[in-house]
Amino acid sequence: MVSTEYYNVVDALVALLLDGSDTGTVTLAELDGDGNPIEYAVYDGVPVSEKYPLYAVFVGWDASPDGEFQSADIQQQWAGSLGAKRRDETIDVVCALVAGYGNGDRWKPARDLGLAIQRDVETKLRQNVSLGLEPTPTRQYLNAEFKPAGAFQEPYSETGFWFRLSFTVSVQTRT
Distance CA 43, CA 30 (A): 21
Task: Please report, to the nearest 10 degrees, the dihedral formed by the alpha carbons of residues 90, 114, 101, 34 taken in order.
Answer: 140
pTM, to two decimals: 0.88
Tens-binned pLDDT, residue by residue, of the chain (175 aa): 568 999 999 999 999 999 989 899 999 998 887 888 999 999 999 887 767 788 999 999 988 877 778 899 999 998 876 666 788 999 999 999 999 887 666 788 888 999 999 999 999 999 999 999 988 888 888 899 999 988 887 766 676 788 889 999 999 998 8
Tally: H helices and E strands in the chain: 2, 7
Q: How far apart are CA 165 and CA 175, in angstroms?
A: 31
The answer to whether 42 and 18 are in contact (CB under 8 A) is yes
Domain boundaries, the chain: 6-174
Question: Could you say which of 2.60.40, 3.30.2000, 3.40.50, 1.10.8 is the CATH number of the domain covering 6-174?
Answer: 3.30.2000
Cα–Cα–Cα angle for 93, 110, 73, rounded to 5 degrees: 10
